[in-house]
Amino acid sequence: MLAVPGLATLVRRELADLPGIHVTDTGNDGRADVLLCEVDPGRERALLELRSVEDVFVELGRTLRTEGDRPPWIARRLLRPARLTSAVNLWRRQSGAGQPRRGRREGPPTYRVVARVLQERAWNRTELRRALSGGVAAAEPSWRTTDPAQLELWALEYARGRFVAGLRLTTAAMRQHGGRRSERPGALRPTVAAAMVALARDPAARATRPVRGRGSTSAGMLLDPCCGSGTILAEAKASGWGVEGRDIDPSAVSASRRNASVASVHQGDARELDLDDASVDACVSNLPFGRQYGVQGEPGAWLADVLSEMARVTRTAGKVVLLVPDIPKAAIPAGLRLRDRHPLRLLGASTAIWVYERR
């Protein structure tokens, strides 16, 4: 599986709750976090339903790079024809491809090979890609290479000297979570929003507590006070939260309402929220400290005001989960205690998910 760089730890936690799936190794191929798993037969679907994962593959082979190793030798060890056949059968079953349509069976699939390597001193990724394409052509002479293609074979050096090859089971739809009806610059990746929402969950309290005056939901009420186009709200709603959204920009309010299909999004200033004390179970937000959006006034004072409003509206033991590169100690109100920090990389920039608990 591939995840946004830095999210592997959180995906691993999510997998720990799923029976029949065991993580055997993790790494990073220079662009994404890579998680290798063993999956009991029949449990593959559970991986395809994970919301914090970008892509799922069925493994074709693993190998180590040795001194003086060459791409054709690595390709031969990574690509076993029998495993390729069973991987393609799994791909056909889950994608519905290659099934008879109007009485006719579709022709041989098209394919492309993607290779990522961490060290290009002795040889480069193009050589590995060519060697793998040659291996596929020898095993399946009727298949044609195209780009885009129906089948994608990826070979990744996911840690120095460690290679894995897989057949991609997913498309971009996996990471887009159904897509957005209204686009707005600076929107968050839905997989990151999903990981943040998962961190806001309170395992002990969920499923039983009715939510004050707003109807009952299983997970509680979640507020994003800087909701932009509503990616976090949409993820929260999909995980059973009731949601409230605020944004200072009216165009964000209408985008959020469309994308999350909720009416409870209003124009408002996160420094002065129109909500009662302890009225939400969690605050989750991607704060405007990026390339697209700035804050009003001095950044340190803005952050301190917004954090103190979030502490005010969040109930005791509720979570405040924020995506922002840095939170200086001076900005944290007494009501919030730092529980966790997860560094990650988004669009090539370093940032972090911060998890606070309301005291």
292-200-262 Cα angle (round to 5): 65
Which residue's CB is nearer to ligand SAM, number 107 or number 186? 186
Q: What is the CA radius of gyration of the chain?
A: 23
Q: Which stretch binds ligand SAM (CB under 6 A): 104-112, 153-161, 212-220, 224-232?
A: 224-232
What is the closest distance, in whole angstroms, from the C-beta atom of residue 295 to ligand SAM in the complex? 6
Which residue's CB is nearer to ligand SAM, number 80 or number 177? 177
Angle between helix axes 250-260 and 231-238 (nearest 10 degrees) is: 30
Q: Is 237 in the site for ligand SAM (CB under 6 A)?
A: no
Rounded CA gap, 195 and 351, in Å?
A: 14
Which residue's Cβ lies closest to ligand SAM? 228
Rounded CA gap, 50 and 215, in Å?
A: 27
Q: Is 257 in the site for ligand SAM (CB under 6 A)?
A: no
Which residue's CB is nearer to ligand SAM, number 98 or number 325? 325
Going by DSSP bridges, is the β-strand pair 2-3/33-39 parallel, antiparallel, or unpaired? antiparallel
Q: Is 232 in the site for ligand SAM (CB under 6 A)?
A: yes
One residue of 15, 53, 187, 199 binding ligand SAM per CB under 6 A: 187
One residue of 28, 191, 231, 351 binding ligand SAM per CB under 6 A: 231
One residue of 28, 63, 170, 229 binding ligand SAM per CB under 6 A: 229
Tokens 């180590």 locate to 64
Burial of 258 (0-12, 13-18, 19+ CB in 10 A): middle
Between residue 259 and residue 318, which ones bind ligand SAM under the rule CB under 6 A? 269-271, 286, 288, 290, 293, 295-296
Q: Is 246 in the site for ligand SAM (CB under 6 A)?
A: yes
Give the residue among 319, 274, 271, 323 at the shortest CA–CA distance from 299.
Answer: 271
What is the closest distance, in whole angstroms, from the C-beta atom of residue 68 to ligand SAM in the complex? 48
18 alpha carbon, distance to own chain's centre = 17
DSSP 273-323: -SS-TT-EEEEEEE-S-SSS---SS-HHHHHHHHHHHHHHHEEEEEEEEEE
What is the closest distance, in whole angstroms, from the C-beta atom of residue 303 to ligand SAM in the complex? 11
What is the closest distance, in whole angstroms, from the C-beta atom of residue 273 to ligand SAM in the complex? 9
Q: Is 58 in the site for ligand SAM (CB under 6 A)?
A: no
Residues belonging to the chain? 359
Give the residue among 194, 201, 153, 149 at the shortest CA–CA distance from 175.
Answer: 194
> Judged by CB under 6 A, how many residues of this single chain contact ligand SAM?
24
Which residue's CB is nearer to ligand SAM, number 232 or number 313? 232
What is the closest distance, in whole angstroms, from the C-beta atom of residue 177 to ligand SAM in the complex? 12
What is the closest distance, in whole angstroms, from the C-beta atom of residue 323 to ligand SAM in the complex? 8
User: Kind and range of the H or E element at 129?
Assistant: helix 125-139
Q: Is the dihedral of CA 69, 72, 75, 77 positive or negative?
A: negative
Q: Which stretch binds ligand SAM (CB under 6 A): 32-40, 89-97, 133-141, 226-234?
A: 226-234
Interface with ligand SAM (CB under 6 A): 184, 186-188, 225-226, 228-229, 231-232, 246-249, 252, 269-271, 286, 288, 290, 293, 295-296
